[in-house]
Chains A and B, each alone.
Chain A
Amino acid sequence: MENDIVLKVEDLKVRFYTYEGIVKAIEKVSLFLKEGEILGVVGETGCGKSVTALSVMRLTPHPGRIEDGKIYLKTDDGMVNLMEKDEKYLEKIRGRYISIIFQEPGAALDPLYKIGEQISEALLIHRKVKYYKDALRIVENKLKDEKGSLRKYFLNIEKKILNELIKNPNSLFISIILKLPLLKRIKKLVEEEVKKDVMVLLKSMGFPDPERIINMYPHELSGGMKQRVVIAMALACNPKIMIADEPTTNLDVTIQAQILKLIKELQKRLLSSIIYITHDFGVVAEVCDRVAVMYAGNICELADVHEIFKNPLHPYTRALLESIPRPGKPFKSIPGVIPNLINPPSGCRFHPRCAYATEKCRREVPELIEVKKNHYVACHNVVGG
């Protein structure tokens, strides 16, 4: 396995067990993500982009189930197959190594908590101990300068409790003790430490006045601001991989440009890899390094962004690119509709809409093969070339 691969998905298969029947949402999706690259995932609505993204985090929405496949994620203990891990382990992975931002920034924030509280939650889940240690250092410093014996006595108690917390961060007993009036100060101390990091984080998201933002509720922010807060939450623990599920679809164009710029900038600075899900080829051309084109639960083409635009090999990719409206050119749409995934077409799922379909396409499912270096296509009749 190559060293710079941070995520590798092999033969992912997801089924939804609905009342009307089994929806074959994802059929053998394989992809990999290299360190520091932005992989675009493009396709029509309902082709399984979002399900793929959520399944990679093992968050497949109900009633969906991952039937088969392997998801390798690079962690501090090397490559880990997420399919073999239990929920407890996955909770530690999510947010720390891999995180996601959603399409609707307004809905991804809990309306009851202030922005500051929500971002601190993201930080505290994975870095509790670090903040307890910070607080302990402050208490120890105070203890050095303190002369009064009563104050010293209290500071010593605080020190003891913090030491205990560092040893045993999830202790229920201590978390109840911390609610007591005099000992609340410890919690305050920890919160102050977290707040410092929240401010830095918000500042790096381009908020000029984080002090004001942390005391606001989500509905007091505009769409673009909310999306930046959501990105801040996702990046709070410096994950290696971020999945962006159409993060700019519901924003207007100027805000969209701002968010795209921010994402690119963050990706360069933090060296994380991004899976960028969209249906907008303009955005793909703007941000992505490589592109995966999806159709009806399959990946049909995977190549560098320049290669896709210059030399599309799959008929579906061609058709998609041709259907981008351009002034002066006749507008071409793809005939037919997206297939019903309860009863998908046999063979290649695109064959009923494909201009080049042959008898073989009706019978056999095409494999994703490397026709050129770093250019994978799943088609029996590779066009052009």
Chain B
Amino acid sequence: MAEESSSRWKSLGPLIMEIKFTFKRIRQSPLSIIGMSIIFFYAVIAILAPVLAPPQPGRDPYIMPCYGVSPMPSPPSEKAIWGTTEGQYDIYYGCIWGVRTAFRTGILTTIGTLIIGIIIGSIAGYYGGKIDEIIMRITDMFYAIPTIVLAMAIVVLLGVGLDNVIKAMIIVGWPTYARLMRAEVMRIKNEDYIEAARAIGCSNLRIIAKHVLPNAIYPVIIMASMNIGNVVLAASALSFLGLGSPAGYADWGAMISLSRNWILGLPGNPLAFWYTYTIPGLFIFTFVLGWNLLGDAFRDMLDPLVRRR
């Protein structure tokens, strides 16, 4: 029976076999399925945002529509199904388009930090010596200052805005990846197969590109996928502090910032404006959770030592 199924697999060709095996591995871990479905769900929302919450023609779709001038939030109604927040901005619209903002900040920041971290980390790890010493002391300097404070300072220096928040987080974030990458490269470069590759005549560049990087990169990628959530969280925190997107921009952190004055509710009714902070908060929470769970799924998918057991 087992033989029969394995021969059927073989006839499919190695690539399809690999993909099938990957999905089999992921199916075995319910948490990664949950993580993947959350992110998949958010991806669908991001793609369908113009359908789910059609923007008014002629306006920047990332600016939430506002229904009036009163600062007081209004509860869910026909017009704004999840209510409005301070300044009468539509919460439903903001949450839906906020998915796009979250994906953009998370992915851009992570890719930026990854590229810088991987390049600098592998240079430090592979060549060692003085280069390593200099690079590592620079990363130590970044570690000495709390990241969020440093990021705030950089945003203030560059000017308030979402793009500058992304830049600031890239500047602050790369040392973590560089350190991890360096440690991995240092471990890998002493492996016998690197020596063996050199013995069959591989050049330094080829060894780094074909043998060192692919072997060292998994922990970094897994860390990155887990970190996308944290990046979104940090960006939200900066937006909450008023350093991120301009007023009315569809951004979860900024929306919570708008609800800041209403968190205590009315006298005698502390939960009067619950919708202003709970709904964007839930979006942030599930988004971050999804990425963290997906990080585990990535590990199962990518690490050949874990996967073929």
Contact = CB atoms under 8 A, between A and B. Distances in A.
Contacts of B195: 54, 59, 61, 102, 108
Interface string A108-129: 1111100000000110011000
Contact of B305 (A99, A109, A219): A219
Given A215-B14, A217-B304, A219-B305, A110 B201 contact: no
A9 to B, nearest CB: 17
Given A91-B203, A215-B14, A220-B308, A108 B215 contact: no
Given A104-B192, A217-B308, A219-B308, A110 B215 contact: yes
Contact of A233 (B196, B198, B203, B204): B196
B230 to A, nearest CB: 28
Given A112-B215, A215-B14, A219-B308, A107 B192 contact: yes
Given A108-B192, A220-B308, A95 B201 contact: yes
Most buried by B among A87, A92, A112, A220: A112
A96 interface: yes
Interface residues of A, number: 34
Contact of A94 (B198, B304, B308): B198
Contact of A112 (B199, B200, B202, B214): B214
B67 interface: no
Given A217-B308, A219-B305, A220-B308, A109 B199 contact: no
Main secondary structure of the interface of B (DSSP, over half): helix
B211 interface: yes
B193 A94 contact: no
Nearest to B198: A59
Given A107-B192, A219-B305, A230-B196, A94 B201 contact: yes
A248 B218 CA distance: 32
A208 to B, nearest CB: 17
A299 interface: no
Nearest to B202: A125
Interface of A: 54, 57, 59, 61, 87-88, 91-96, 99-100, 102, 104, 107-112, 121-122, 125-126, 215, 217, 219-220, 230, 233-234, 236
Question: Considering the complex of A and B, which 9 residue pairs feature the smallest CB-CB distances, nearest first?
Answer: A107-B192, A95-B200, A95-B201, A94-B201, A108-B196, A110-B193, A122-B200, A100-B199, A108-B192
